[in-house]
Amino acid sequence: MTQKSDLGAWGVWRSAGQADGGFARRVEELGYRTLWVGGSPAADLVIVEELLDATTDLVVATGIVNIWQADAASVAQAFHRIEDSHPGRLVLGIGSGHREATPERVKPLTALRSYLDVLDAEGVRQDQRLLAALGDRTLALAAERTLGAHPYLTLPPHTAHARAILGDALLAPEVTVALGSDGDGARDAARAFWRRYSRLSNYVGALERFGATGEDLADGGSDEFIDRLIAGPDAERAAAAIHSHLDAGADHVAVQALGDDPLGSLERIASALGLDQLAR
């Protein structure tokens, strides 16, 4: 049985196309307990298996498998294959993607329920899976039928609101960081990252609901908004942003590091969080 504590307080988020065994080993060495595999990994979960094969105790969670792109029965088969080799080290995160990117995305909550029904029938237990969730109804579904929720690109007020809905279920938000000695350069990288998501209504709507104004979002995002959403430019401020989500009720934070040296950034953040002491 997977427990919330198995994920630890801190993890790392990395797109499937950017993660490999060497990256996973270094994440584990730095003291992070969980590696989240984003970018809609394929139904065969081969990348997940590669990361688990390369590490000893690291938990790998998908963040997330897109239900419109990966057949539920095939995903369940892959899950059981990996669970047999690495028991208790895989958490299956699923989600319904974005309306703008997925034309077939109709009645996503109904589709998520149906997908979970298949996972039930295929023996993927509730404590082995979670949902990407921003809205209240999806958060409630996550609490009802999974280990919990993995919100992406949110602010601490959303985390506090999600905690009230989830009750005791897992709450594991992603937090993006952009480190660099040049504060303006780090902010430019953060703004470029936000630009990719600024056209997706579910993210914009969630941010507006929890404090972002029209002025914040205009013209690529105000400096103040970018600095609130994407932490940096130094590791201490990134660590403070991570702690702000824990203080708001998160059980775990998945850190996504931007830039050309993500492992270097993750090492600095690990030090600021005190993970380097725990890993010794």
- In tens digits, what is the pLDDT along the chain, a chain of 280 residues? 778 889 999 999 999 999 999 999 999 999 999 999 999 999 999 999 999 999 999 999 999 999 999 999 999 999 999 999 999 999 999 999 866 566 666 789 999 999 999 999 999 999 999 999 999 999 999 999 999 999 999 999 999 999 999 999 999 999 999 999 887 899 999 999 999 999 999 999 999 999 999 999 988 899 999 999 999 999 999 999 999 999 999 999 999 999 999 999 999 999 999 996 655 4
Task: Tell me the whole-structure pTM to 2 decimals.
Answer: 0.95
Predicted local distance difference test score (pLDDT) of residue 183: 77
Determine the 3-state secondary structure of 30 from DSSP.
coil
Judge contact between 128 and 79, C-beta under 8 A: yes
In whole angstroms, what is the distance from residue 51 CA to residue 109 CA? 30
| Cα(203)–Cα(152) distance, integer angstroms | 8
Instruction: Identify the pLDDT of residue 280.
Output: 46
What pLDDT does residue 277 have? 63
Q: How far, CA to CA in Å, does 246 sit from each of 8, 229, 262?
A: 12, 15, 22
**In degrees, to the nearest 5, what angle opens at C-alpha 190 toward C-alphas 189 and 196?**
95
pLDDT at 184: 80
Q: For residue 196, give the amino acid letter.
A: R
